[in-house]
Copies of this chain bind each other. A is one copy, B any other.
Amino acid sequence: MKQYWRPGTMLNPLPAVIVSCGSTLKNRNLITVAWTGTICSDPAMCFISVRPSRYSHSILMEEMEFTINLTTASMAKATDWCGVRSGRDYDKWKECGLTPVEGVKVGCWYVDESPVAIECRVKQVMHLGTHDMFLAEVVNVIADESFIDQKTGALDLTKADLMTYCHGHYHALGRELGHFGFSVRKKKQKK
């Protein structure tokens, strides 16, 4: 049996990433965002949606740059905290014990503890309602070498213990169900 509900944000699970922004020691900040995703493969583009009332919003509007820092199970508490507290009241970097590293292609710092940081430049801002959507082009990807296979050069994110966000709850990733294309892979014939 099915129930019909009024329109709501029921798409789950989603990423919960820590976005860093601000290019000065005074305005640099962190904000946790679940309204994020990939919107185009080439050019590689991402988005984040942020309420205009948030402290980071005016920084984003002014500087038009940000970095998406992927989050791991060990960063769950910091991720939650950066989503419920404001940069108006706290130095979030300091409070969370996250290490700022100077950006490479953008003016803002990235989070050293993140296995992957994605530097983005805003191309367009859309006012949708409660949230403004920042559509951005990826300009650089920073990957932690500890998750890269030294022989193949391939990134193995399964080692990174990434986190996901589902209907108000943070979860680690669980058992693997298959890889892209597994449903059509031909089985190797036994000789």
Contacts and interface: CB of A to CB of B under 8 A. Distances in A.
Given A40-B49, A129-B42, A158-B166, A184 B12 contact: no
| Residue from A37, A49, A73, A157 whose CB has the most chain B CB atoms within 10 Å | A37
A102 to B, nearest CB: 11
A2 interface: yes
A170 B166 contact: no
B178 A41 contact: no
Interface in A164-185: 164, 166-184
A56 interface: no
Interface in A124-180: 126, 128-131, 133, 135, 137-146, 148, 155, 157-158, 162-164, 166-180
B169 A178 contact: yes
A36 interface: yes
The number of times this chain is found in the oligomer is 2
Contacts of A34: 38
Contacts of A39: 35, 47, 49, 128, 131, 133
A83 interface: yes
Contact of A2 (B4, B137, B145, B173): B145
A7 B140 contact: yes
Interface in A69-113: 70, 73, 76-78, 80-81, 83-85, 101, 104
Interface of A: 1-15, 17, 34-47, 49, 68, 70, 73, 76-78, 80-81, 83-85, 101, 104, 116, 118, 126, 128-131, 133, 135, 137-146, 148, 155, 157-158, 162-164, 166-184
| Residue from A138, A170, A183 whose CB has the most chain B CB atoms within 10 Å | A183
Contact of A10 (B5, B141, B184): B141
B40 A133 contact: yes
